[in-house]
């Protein structure tokens, strides 16, 4: 993957993790990853339609996973796909906590451990900076 492609993905994502929403600037010592939504072990696809910007934690927890199991119903659901799905239809932010609004959203929040305490703290701190408070 070339530098131009990485730049396009970062700009398209507005320098935020496309899964949990943490801004890349909030973790200046931990660079974000341009990741393959459908991992290369499933299908080799370096097109922009298969690339997303992810923080190191979301990328690490997601790994090559494409789906997870909803524990209540024991059903398999696809994970959130940043190129196909609309973030606001599956998630909302509540004081730094990412709330899954749909089975897909809830499964993605859980698998990617989006609400680990440090990550919630980063989103809260960044929201305060964005609002100027
Ligand atoms: Zn993330």
Per-residue model confidence as pLDDT tens digits over 31-85: 999 999 999 999 899 999 999 999 999 999 999 999 999 878 889 999 999 999 9
| Cα(133) to centroid(ligand 1), Å | 24
| Cα(24) to centroid(ligand 1), Å | 9
For residue 128, the model assigns a pLDDT of 79
For residue 22, the model assigns a pLDDT of 94
Among 33, 39, 29, 2, smallest CA distance to 17 is for 33
In this model, does residue 133 exceed pLDDT 60? no
Q: Over range 113-122, report the average pLDDT.
A: 94
Per-residue model confidence as pLDDT tens digits over 89-103: 999 999 999 999 999
Q: Which domain holds residue 66?
A: 3-131
In this model, does residue 9 exceed pLDDT 70? yes
HSE toward the beta carbon, residue 56, CA cutoff 13 A: 8
| Cα(130) to centroid(ligand 1), Å | 18
| Cα(22) to centroid(ligand 1), Å | 6
Confidence bin at 114 (pLDDT 50/70/90): very high
In this model, does residue 132 exceed pLDDT 70? no
Q: How far from each other are the two terminal CA atoms of the chain, in whole angstroms? A: 39
For residue 126, the model assigns a pLDDT of 84
Number of folded domains that form the chain: 1
pTM over 0.85: yes
């Amino acid at each position: 993957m070339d530098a131009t492609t990485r730049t396009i993905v970062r700009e398209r994502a507005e320098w935020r993790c496309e899964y949990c929403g943490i801004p890349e600037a909030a973790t200046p010592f931990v660079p974000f990853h341009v990741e393959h939504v459908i991992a290369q072990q499933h299908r080799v696809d370096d097109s922009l339609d298969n690339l997303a910007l992810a923080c190191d934690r979301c990328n690490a927890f997601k790994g090559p996973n494409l789906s997870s199991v909803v524990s209540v119903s024991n059903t398999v659901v696809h994970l959130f796909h940043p190129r196909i799905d609309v973030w606001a239809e599956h998630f909302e932010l509540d004081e730094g906590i990412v709330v899954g609004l749909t089975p897909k959203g809830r499964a993605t929040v859980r698998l990617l451990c989006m609400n680990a305490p440090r990550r919630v703290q980063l989103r809260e701190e960044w929201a305060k900076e964005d609002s100027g408070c």
